[in-house]
Amino acid sequence: MKRQPYQLGGWNEARAEVAAPYSFCALSKLNGKADAPKDFQWLEKNIPCQKACPASTDIPGYLSAIYEGRHEDAYVINLRDNVFPAVLGRVCARPCEPECRHGWDGLGEPVAICFSKRSSADFKKQDLVVLDRWFEDSGKRVAVVGSGPAGLAAARQLALLGHKVTVYEKHSSPGGMMNQGIPIFRLPREIIEKEIQQITALGVEIVCDTEIGQTITLSRLAEENDAVVMAAGTLRPNLLDLPGKELGGIRHGLDFLLEINDTGTAEVGKEVVVIGGGFTAMDCARAALRLGASVKVCYRRTVKEMLVTPGELEELDHEGIPVEYRVTPQAYIGENGRTKSIEFIRTEMGEPDESGRRRPVEIEGSEFAVSVDTVLLATGQFPDTSWIDEALRSELAEDDGWLKPEQAIEKIFAAGDFANGASSLIDAIGHAKECIRAVDLFLMGEVRLEDFAKIEDVTESGRIREMDAVPLQPMPTIGLGQRDLSAEVEQGFGEEASVDEAQRCYQCHLKFEIDSDKCIYCDWCIKVAPRPECILKLKELHHDDAGRVVGWDIAEKADEVNLVWINQEDCIRCGACVAACPVDAIGIQKVSLATEPVMEMP
Ligand SMILES: Cc1cc2nc3c(=O)[nH]c(=O)nc-3n(C[C@H](O)[C@H](O)[C@H](O)COP(=O)(O)OP(=O)(O)OC[C@H]3O[C@@H](n4cnc5c(N)ncnc54)[C@H](O)[C@@H]3O)c2cc1C
Ligand code: SF4
Ligand code: SF4
Ligand code: SF4
């Protein structure tokens, strides 16, 4: 079961509240720092990509920097918000892109937010970028168990807050699934190493080859440190309990990928079936193909329910790996102790299960066999709490091996997949950032970071209408003949293409507003407006008690118009209205989410 979220206030609280019945929010201030709930709600409503990013990355901020040729600044924005820009710019699950305003009905395709992140890393000038700390040494020590994205993001945030951090990792090198799971052909190792160096440069110590629970126990870490963060991922494989499961040739996919990532190869047969439809399934299939096998992926649901990185299915298809949907295994059939086929049954999609995905229902009489010599199970992983010493295990963990949903011991925190179950890099990083706010509050007894909406006047948007017609830039890839276990498939945008792609962004952090005192109701802005409802002629706007717009009455006749109003929900920030207005009645402001140390009053 997932852990209960850390209670943090500010931006996070506003996020929880945003499902409230109002939909259009004004800001609480004209300029400067604003931190009323409605300010955060403005950000939520107007910058859909940032809302969808679990690490709240300032996406319009970095895309505008790339557009202006400031790739280094774009990298720093990403680094601050999501810790691993060059890694995520390659393999992020990209929950932001389906939400992008550019992909809304009739507006074309979403901006390539993820690949642009990679461009910021590819074209920055400095080799290593090390952030400034928020606070001097606090004198507090924190131990982190696990050096995956959650453990390292936690360590980085703790170091910025001035705490002394030691990360313990049982593997011989740090990085968690970035290093042990994801293949090199999707994520070159020097990219991970560089971004980890930016964390150790802040004083974080990473101790590898040290499994907590062996010579050092969690109890000892808790005694010797002011706090402990458990970020041990999901290393317990879900193995299918089917007849024939003891036969040779059946292996969990994570184990297979780990061997390839550690040794550069793995033994695999000639006919491989990968069972599953997530990240591990895709990587197993593409890796087994590169080892010379004929590969097929079998998945019990449909393509819609697959949890894979966008574009990966297309690459799978391009590499010639078939996927058989709506089939589930029934039994492994063996000969001389080895699997020689799998019996499958076809499924149809039923009602949604607790994950929200539709449940596969078996179709009676539809059994069939697939010949195979190697089965790679990509059927999920769970948190493994068996390393927690007995003194603490019953307090922290459930009998089924998951952590208890509530925090049982005050100084022991949990972050990333270990807390919430298998997710994605950006989910793990986002959760670690939230966790560290709670750790810092526990250590220092006060909230030391404040989130706010930073409101700045802007003279022009920098956008012109032609930018809306710029097509999505294609990602260059290497040819099929060059693809092996180590050659990176995606090559990244060229510098010019990176600027072209970034200029497609509407800059949703811009707020266009008509000053009613200046407006002469000439309608020129409406005549040039590209959207049917971005500028409305209104009889009246309706507000709630907090001053938020909750509705409006359209003026049907000319003599009913009391207000010309910009509907920010429909506005694509083209700037056409500003250029057309004869009396400069339309102002532009930039509204960004910012985080700063709380200033002590003198
Ligand atoms: C094959 C594969 C491919 C994936 N591809 C993608 C992708 O393309 N995009 C995406 O967004 N997500 C992907 N994911 C998911 C993503 O990698 C995870 O969600 C993410 O790594 C979770 O981060 P974490 O830090 O919580 O855990 P992990 O990355 O699992 O790190 C946990 C770390 O803890 C260490 N550890 C465990 N127990 C102990 C102990 N007792 N003592 C010391 N150390 C310990 C482990 O060795 C490991 O290094 C993929 C996952 C897999 C398995
Ligand atoms: S247009 Fe730009 S700012 Fe708006 S949602 Fe898309 S990426 Fe984000
Ligand atoms: S900037 Fe002005 S013209 Fe352009 S979409 Fe927004 S309101 Fe309409
Ligand atoms: S162009 Fe300017 S003055 Fe004319 S209606 Fe629009 S905002 Fe008002």
* Atom number, ligand 3, closest to the C-alpha of residue 578: 2
* Three-point CA angle 33, 37, 39, nearest 5°: 45
Among 244, 264, 243, 266, CA closest to 253:
266
Tens of pLDDT, residue by residue over 25-51, are 578 778 899 998 888 988 998 999 999
DSSP characters over 60-71: HHHHHHHHTT-H
321 alpha carbon – ligand 1 mean position (Å): 25
**Cβ of residue 522 lying under 6 Å from some atom of ligand 4:** yes
316 & 375 share domain: yes
Q: How far is CA 143 from its chain centroid?
A: 25
Q: What are phi and psi of 442, to 5 degrees?
A: -65, -45
For residue 31, being part of any structural domain is answered with no
Among 127, 135, 115, CA closest to 198:
127
249 & 369 share domain: yes
406 & 424 share domain: yes
257 & 330 share domain: yes
50 alpha carbon – ligand 2 mean position (Å): 8
Amino acid at 117: K
263 & 371 share domain: yes
* Atom number, ligand 3, closest to the C-alpha of residue 573: 1
**Cβ of residue 564 lying under 6 Å from some atom of ligand 4:** yes
Q: Which residues pair with 458 in a beta bridge?
A: 588
* Atom number, ligand 2, closest to the C-alpha of residue 113: 7
Q: CB–CB of 101/108 below 8 Å?
A: no
* Atom number, ligand 4, closest to the C-alpha of residue 577: 1
* Predicted confidence band of residue 13 (pLDDT cuts 50, 70, 90): low
Amino acid at 185: F
46 alpha carbon – ligand 3 mean position (Å): 14
Tens of pLDDT, residue by residue over 432-456, are 999 999 999 999 999 999 999 999 9
For residue 16, being part of any structural domain is answered with no
- Per-residue H/E/C for 500-540: HHHCCCCCCCEEEEECCCCCCCCCHHHHHCCCCCCEEEEEE
Q: How far is CA 581 from its chain centroid?
A: 40
Ligand nearest to the CA of 117: 2
**Cβ of residue 250 lying under 6 Å from some atom of ligand 4:** no
77 alpha carbon – ligand 2 mean position (Å): 15
94 alpha carbon – ligand 3 mean position (Å): 27
According to the model, what pLDDT value does residue 19 have? 40
Burial class (CB in 10 A: 0-12, 13-18, 19+), 459: exposed
**Residue 309 tokens, joined:** 């990185």
How far CA 67 is from CA of 47, 64, 70, 119, 501, in Å, comes to: 18, 5, 7, 11, 8
Task: List the residue whose alpha carbon is closest to atom 1 of ligand 4.
Answer: 581
What's the rounded Cα separation, in Å, for the pair 206 and 49?
33
- 């290593």: which residue's tokens? 128
Cα first-last separation, the chain: 46
Sign of CA dihedral 58, 59, 62, 64: negative
According to the model, what pLDDT value does residue 21 have? 37
Domain count, the chain: 4
Compute the CA torsion angle 567, 569, 573, 576 (nearest 10 deg).
Answer: -30
For residue 86, being part of any structural domain is answered with yes
Q: What are phi and psi of 370, to 5 degrees?
A: -120, 125
186 alpha carbon – ligand 2 mean position (Å): 25
Task: List the residue whose alpha carbon is closest to atom 4 of ligand 3.
Answer: 574
The DSSP symbol for 300 reads S
DSSP characters over 129-153: --PPPSSS--S-EEEEE--SHHHHH
506 alpha carbon – ligand 2 mean position (Å): 6
* Predicted confidence band of residue 12 (pLDDT cuts 50, 70, 90): low
505 alpha carbon – ligand 2 mean position (Å): 5
- From 502, 519, 551, give the residue that closes a domain: 502
**Cβ of residue 47 lying under 6 Å from some atom of ligand 2:** yes
Strands 271-275 and 294-298: parallel
Domain at 95, CATH number: 1.10.1060.10
Q: CB–CB of 321/282 below 8 Å?
A: no
Ligand nearest to the CA of 54: 1
What's the rounded Cα separation, in Å, for the pair 599 and 509?
26
For residue 156, being part of any structural domain is answered with yes
Task: List the residue whose alpha carbon is closest to atom 2 of ligand 3.
Answer: 577
Is the interface score ipTM higher than 0.85?
yes
Helix (H) and strand (E) counts in the chain: 20, 23
326 & 357 share domain: yes
Ligand nearest to the CA of 582: 4
Domain that holds residue 316: 238-380
For residue 325, being part of any structural domain is answered with yes
Least confident of 19-23, 200-204, 560-564: 19-23
Q: Which of the listed residues 535, 570, 586 should we mutate to test ligand 3's pocket, taking the one with most ligand atoms within 8 A of CB?
A: 535
Q: What are phi and psi of 344, to 5 degrees?
A: -110, 160
**Residue 473 tokens, joined:** 């830039």
Among 321, 317, 281, 272, CA closest to 300:
281
According to the model, what pLDDT value does residue 465 have? 82
107 & 65 share domain: yes
For residue 452, being part of any structural domain is answered with no
**Residue 456 in 3-state DSSP?**
strand
According to the model, what pLDDT value does residue 23 have? 41
273 & 347 share domain: yes
Tens of pLDDT, residue by residue over 374-417, are 999 999 999 999 999 999 999 999 999 999 999 989 999 999 99
Question: What is the average per-residue pLDDT within 520-535?
Answer: 94
* Atom number, ligand 1, closest to the C-alpha of residue 91: 8
Q: CB–CB of 437/450 below 8 Å?
A: no
